[in-house]
């Protein structure tokens, strides 16, 4: 037996209170990223010869940040360590001329996520224990088994669904060598034809492609109309300004378009 690191992706089914808490945790990670990035940018503008604040220095600043902003205590504290690590790695790639300057994160992004290193475990067949969230309903927890969970990532996809990605360390049994070979031929009528005569058919996505094109047109049209309404409402108004997210019609088209595209992919 040998130990390997592999990933497992499960779907989450949070209730209403857990969804609200998840979005708070998404926002907290985004807030810490923007605060640390803004601090580094302002520090360089004030003194270009100043030393870069490394990952250890950013972790030390987290204590003061939590005292100043109490809502940060609602998140898993290890997720902020991951944020600082990712930001420090981004600056290292910048200094090595292997990447661009890090950007500020926007709350209007279609995909939201956070990563933690705290302990999470399987409670039941379709239940997992996550930090700050408690017991949450999932799918296919049998895939985890007795594996050691290293880190976890909770994400919100453009399709409107929540997912849990686990990085686990598990033992695998080496399969015996059969000393046999098989040839595979990529075809047009069939996806793959093996040398022993087995045929594997293709996936017919013609109907889904039509649906994706249809929802793409609806999405573009509804988003343009929503933008026009926002411009009209916000013209010479200062009491209550609307945003594009206030219109749910184009958001439904965005979700349906994303689901069709994901099924095709």
Q: CA dihedral in degrees (239, 31, 92, 155; nearest 10)?
A: -110
**Domain count across the chain:** 2
85, part of any domain? yes
Are 166 and 239 found together in one domain?
no
Determine if the pTM surpasses 0.85: no
Q: Is residue 180 part of a domain?
A: no
- 27 with 73, same domain? yes
**What would the two tokens of residue 70 be?**
């109490």
Give residue 76's domain range: 1-175
pLDDT at 37 > cutoff 90: yes
CA torsion sign for 63, 68, 70, 71 is negative
d(CA 125, CA 144): 10
pLDDT band for 258, please (50, 70, 90 cuts). Answer: very high
Q: Per-residue pLDDT tens for 62-84?
A: 999 999 999 999 999 999 999 99
Percent of the chain with pLDDT over 90: 56
d(CA 239, CA 237): 6
Report pLDDT digits (tens) over 184-229: 998 777 889 999 888 887 777 888 999 999 999 999 999 999 999 8
pLDDT of residue 114: 94
CA distances from 55 to 69, 91, 95 (A): 20, 10, 15
């Amino acid at each position: 037996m040998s130990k390997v690191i592999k990933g497992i992706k499960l779907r989450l089914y949070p209730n209403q209170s857990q969804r609200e808490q998840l979005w708070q945790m998404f926002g907290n990670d985004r807030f810490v990223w923007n605060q640390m990035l803004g601090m580094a940018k302002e520090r360089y503008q004030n003194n270009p010869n100043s030393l870069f604040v490394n990952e250890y220095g950013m972790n030390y600043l987290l204590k003061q940040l939590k005292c100043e902003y109490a809502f940060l205590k609602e998140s898993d504290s290890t997720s902020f360590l991951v944020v600082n690590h990712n930001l420090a790695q981004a600056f290292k790639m910048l200094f090595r001329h292997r990447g661009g300057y890090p950007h500020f994160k926007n709350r209007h992004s279609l995909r939201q996520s956070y990563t933690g290193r705290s302990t999470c475990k399987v409670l039941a067949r379709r239940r997992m224990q996550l930090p700050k969230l408690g017991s949450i309903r999932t799918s296919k927890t049998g895939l985890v088994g007795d594996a050691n969970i290293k880190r976890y990532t909770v994400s919100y996809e453009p399709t409107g669904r929540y997912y849990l990605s686990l990085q686990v360390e598990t033992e695998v049994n080496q399969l015996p060598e059969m000393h046999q070979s098989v040839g595979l031929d990529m075809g047009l009528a069939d996806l793959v034809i093996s040398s022993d005569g087995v045929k594997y058919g293709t996936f017919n996505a013609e109907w889904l492609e039509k649906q994706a094109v249809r929802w793409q047109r609806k999405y573009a049209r509804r988003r343009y109309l929503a933008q026009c309404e926002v411009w009209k409402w916000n013209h010479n108004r200062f009491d209550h300004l609307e945003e594009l997210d206030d219109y749910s019609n184009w958001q439904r088209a965005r979700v349906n378009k994303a689901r069709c595209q994901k099924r095709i992919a």
